[in-house]
A and B are shown apart, each in its own frame.
Chain A
Amino acid sequence: MNSTMKNVMTPGNASRALLLPFILLTVMGAQAATFTGSVVDINGSPVVGAMVTLEPSWPGPTYVTAFSDPDGRFSLPDQANYRPGSEFQVAIRALGYELVDSSKEEEGGSVSLTVIARATDNQAASAPASAWLQDKADHDTTSTFVLDCVGCHQVPSPEFRHYAAAIADIPGADRDAIRHASYDALVKYMNFLSAEEFGRGPEAGPPDASRVYEVGDGPRVIDYLSANFTDRMDSVSGYDWGAPLAVTPQTAIMEYAVPRPNAIREALLLGEPKQLWAADVASNAIVKIDPESGYTSSLEVPSDTPVGPHSLHRGADGSLWVAPFITSVVGHLDVNDETWDTWRMQTVDGTPTGIHDLSFGAEHTLLTDNDGLVWFSDIVNNAVGYLDPDTGAIDHYMAPPVLDRATTGTALYGLVMTSDREEIWFSQLNIGSIGSFNVVTREFGPSFQLPLNSGPRRLSISDDDILYVPLYGTGQLVEYDTKTHTQIGIYDMPDMASAPYAVTWDPVRKVVWIPTSNTDVIYKFDPADKSFTVLPMPRTGAFLRMVDIDPDTGNLVTSYANIVGHVHGPRMALIIDPGDGAYR
């Protein structure tokens, strides 16, 4: 099949406005520089665990970040593009600190920075969105609210906080009425944008406002907002990530900004040399980023209808599988010669499928069954099904009812396969249920239920067939043994408003990585002692979705997956070296 390739753009470092307050410095030397230094507070004491972010000159990663150690010392990873005569931006993120000043000493190619930070009680500039949800006493309604709203964007975002201030500025005595009317308007506006985003399709135009303003969840969201966000939100204090840092002096975060209008959903490292392949859910394209230079180009998924590449899976042979957001086109890309196979998927009665995931195995690659069939979850039809990539044959199996819960709109979502390749496990996001299906007997098997507002999303399975389930709404992690059908445990996330979106079993480190959508961090769970540690990202608005692990280096690959056009946070693909040497 043919493939088209177009060079789309630009140096990576095109989005300076997204960085936190920064200091500009110029490196004078005659050779490529190395950056080390320390972060100190206004009294000269070390600031520990601060993220120090440098914007190198193009070409290269858009930003590189290292963490300060217990002495406040940091060492930025070497990049070939620290070129002499270049200007660099330096920024920091440390909870409860703000950047004040920096000084620089330069000798040969060595640049030593002293970054001065000031402690602040008001953490508004450094804390994640979830910091504002910490004092909400009613966890149950907060969980429902997170599930209703954080599915598409962080809450409270800067825009929302500014709106709360605008409400507070409206004159009038009846504050309850003003607040309720204002949040009613805000929810209608959000419902409109949501209808537009999820209604994207071949002939879609703007939705009819009168039909989409009012949706079922609206009143409870308005009530929650009116009751819990009663004043301006200019400050927040006392927040921490809730877990010790999972970083070392060698931990390095490389961020690659993707020029608009691309909307990066997920990303993987594939090919030789390794390239970042990122799903652009706003188009039909897969964006390819060269990690060394930061150059981006894009490949179209061949299709005469909108696709919106969403879920990416690494094939066992190093190829790329693409599942769609909009229509039912599944793509398979040979990343070396850049040729595609695609399948247009329909149910037997002609209904389009809504494929969400293909089945992940313990290596976080696509695991087919023993007959080579590719199993998928169908978010539209409450079904699982298979594709035979050799013949193009597909079939569907509708999931059975669960207790007294809904049978439509269940959002059958995440999908994994057991190591014997005979059983798949799936989550149903909107009815808090986990189920299984035997791909040999073609019968549904054991299931277990969680609260309706728990929000189970993308699943992972260990090489011992232990299932991990992130609960987006209630902010918990479930550990379940698929061999004995017993729940090993359910654990509160360190920040229960963090909206854990996915889990990824790490087959070498024997841990679970948990990216969050509302807290700008990836938590690490150790099944041996059930402990959590945290790997924070260097910027706010980091709406994280999937994490993949490069099997060769153990580097994590993830993305800031803010929805294009509607959410104004960063859109980047990331390579993260946890700095633990685990894969050496």
Chain B
Amino acid sequence: MRAELFHSFLKIFLSLIGAVLVSACASPRGTGDLGIIIERASGSVQVVETTHHTRLARVPGLGDLSHASAVYSRDARYAYVFGRDGGLTKVDLLRRRIEKRIVQAGNAIGGAISQDGRLVAVSNYEPGGVKVFAADTLELLADIPAGSGDSQRRSKVVGLVDAPGDRFVFSLYDAGEIWIADMRNPRQPQVRKFTNVGKQPYDGTVTPDGRYYIAGLFGEDGLALLDLWQTEKGVRRVLDGYGRGQQPLPVFKMPHLDNWAQANDIAYVPAVGRHEVLVIDQKNWTEAGRIAVAGQPVFVVARPDGRQVWVNLAPPDNDTVQVIDTLSLKIIRTLKPGKAVLHMEFTPRGEQVWISVRDEDRVDVYDTDTLERVASLPADKPSGIFFSARAHRIGL
């Protein structure tokens, strides 16, 4: 009897100690300096911390992550990862595990989270369209098939972003259209369609203030511009004919319009089929110049303060990153991080940039002031890098 009593006391005592130890390990922390790195070949993401350049965990089981991207919940705790195979995976950065995963289509390209954080939308290639899910449960709320006009043929959807007013805006690659879905009633989206916006919009983005939606065109020189403050004005073509009739060069990797690179009313976008970055005066949306770069630009991203623009390039020049000074519009440094530079992500205030170097199985961290490498982390075929600061930015 006595021994039994002693035993149960001991058990309670030990479990109390255990509980204390566990809570000590999982001491509360914020997520503001966390992020994920997509490991495209192994279907995993790394959870990383940017303050000390630490790899916190690897979360496997996310499927085919070739061309994967991510958005964040408004509390910046969960990353929603959009995989090529139609997978939508909600990853908990604090517990470092998959919270929920669904496969919602056959073939997907990316997604967005609504202004109020309640809805996650995915743009699909197959079957072409947009599906909208509840951010907390990933329950399907709406399905918007991207069929144009009377045609039964569905279009691949690209360039899906969120915009103020709980709207999602996206482009139809095959049909050459831009659609706005008003999601104030999530189960009954109101869709407004803009047709004949240009040939083969390949990606789209929204300005950081949420006012302008811009789709890049692959099938012709130019961009399609929609003023979301005055949608009745319709879609305008800007910078049309920037190739001046010259035969475009082959494009061995599609450019991306991830986040709109701007500084002082000037924006920077990749030209398609030209080894140039186009400079746009955003006051009147005309060309303000062009900057020759070492190859076909893929990502053209501005440091958060807009003082620099960093550019990576398509094969065969994908070992190179070039840094543009936005005062002089000159390239101030050409870096050679290694084979297959795929993505660049700035820390929230831009003192450092993380660069994935796929074929070297590395992510390099550069100081954006000295332009020197300050750290390097191993990663398995890294591609996209997404930091949690995206949680609070329109369009990301």
A and B co-occur in one complex? no
